[in-house]
Chains A and B, each alone.
Chain A
Amino acid sequence: NAGVTQTPKFQVLKTGQSMTLQCAQDMNHEYMSWYRQDPGMGLRLIHYSVGAGITDQGEVPNGYNVSRSTTEDFPLRLLSAAPSQTSVYFCASSYSRGTNYGYTFGSGTRLTVV
């Protein structure tokens, strides 16, 4: 049982490049979400999904796209990287909230845009 797996762990991009951060979970969780963590800002929600085929925007969605074609995978796409997107990115997953489970987090991806 691997939990939530994020790849890559580190990435350096040039301004204007695109890339996809991968996130996979093997716990059959319905809910998944992406966050970015910046110094002094805590974690902020980018996008979330409540099941395959259903996604919605969070607090800071601009510059990011998501899709959820399977229960297991929830990739985050950066369309045209900007230095302001330099951050640590976390993916997380959860059972239905009715069971009051907190989100389980992946180990994060440190992204630097130069």
Chain B
Amino acid sequence: AQTVTQSQPEMSVQEAETVTLSCTYDTSESDYYLFWYKQPPSRQMILVIRQEAYKQQNATENRFSVNFQKAAKSFSLKISDSQLGDAAMYFCAYRSAYYEAGGGADGLTFGKGTHLIIQP
């Protein structure tokens, strides 16, 4: 079974600065997908960014980018030019890519989350 670890229960950053949220995972699989989800106080789960394990290039979405280190099993999220609207819980998640090949299980495995506070 896979596990996802977010070692920072809470992070705080000044508005307009850059912050990096950490995520590590453990898996014996070589093909998988990784995601960062944002959960604001409304509790809606919002997909921020995704990464395919077989792609070397780090994903970027506007102010959000990841640092994917496959050998180290690390998947950190960098938020540039932090805005007040970025304040939320952030969850790292793992999805196996093997079910379609007849093995593995589907669904997402989540970390416990990081609460991001933006200081005005």
A residues near B, CB below 8 A? 31, 33, 35, 40-45, 48, 50, 56, 58-59, 88, 90, 92, 96-98, 100, 102-105, 107-108
For window 41-77 of B, CB contacts with A under 8 Å fall at 42-45, 47, 50, 52
Interface residues of B (CB under 8 A from A): 1, 33, 35, 37, 42-45, 47, 50, 52, 91, 93, 95, 97, 99-100, 105-113
Number of A-B contacts (CB under 8 A): 67
Residue pair A56, B105 in contact (C-beta under 8 Å):
yes
Q: Is the CB of A97 within 8 A of B99?
A: yes
**A48 to B96 CA separation, bound complex (whole angstroms):** 13
Please tell me if the beta carbons of B112 and A44 are within 8 angstroms of each other in the complex: no
A88 and B33: CB pair below 8 A?
no
| A43, A90, A96, A104: the one within 8 Å of B47 (CB) | A104
| Residues in A neighbouring B97, C-beta threshold 8 A | 97
Select from chain A the residue with minimum beta-carbon distance to B33.
A100
A-B contacts, 23 of them at CB < 8 A, read A33-B108, A42-B91, A42-B113, A43-B108, A43-B110, A45-B108, A48-B106, A50-B106, A56-B105, A59-B109, A90-B45, A92-B45, A97-B33, A97-B95, A97-B100, A102-B47, A102-B93, A103-B47, A103-B108, A104-B47, A105-B37, A107-B42, A108-B44
Q: Indicate if the CB atoms of B91 and A43 lie closer than 8 Å.
A: yes
Q: Which of A42, A50, A105, A107 touches B112 (beta carbons < 8 Å)?
A: A42
How far is the CB of A78 from the nearest CB of chain B, in Å?
A: 19
**A40 CB contacts on chain B under 8 angstroms:** 112
B80 to chain A, nearest CB (A): 21
- Give CA–CA (A98, B98) in the complex, Å: 10
Determine the chain B residues whose CB is within 8 A of the CB of A100 once the complex forms. 33, 50, 52
Residue among A41, A43, A44, A103 with the most chain B CB within 10 A?
Answer: A43
**Measured CA separation A58–B110 after assembly (Å):** 12
B112→A48 contact, CB < 8 A: no
Given the complex, which residues of B lie within 8 Å of A108, measured CB to CB?
43-44
Is there an interface contact between A105 and B45, defined as CB atoms closer than 8 Å?
yes
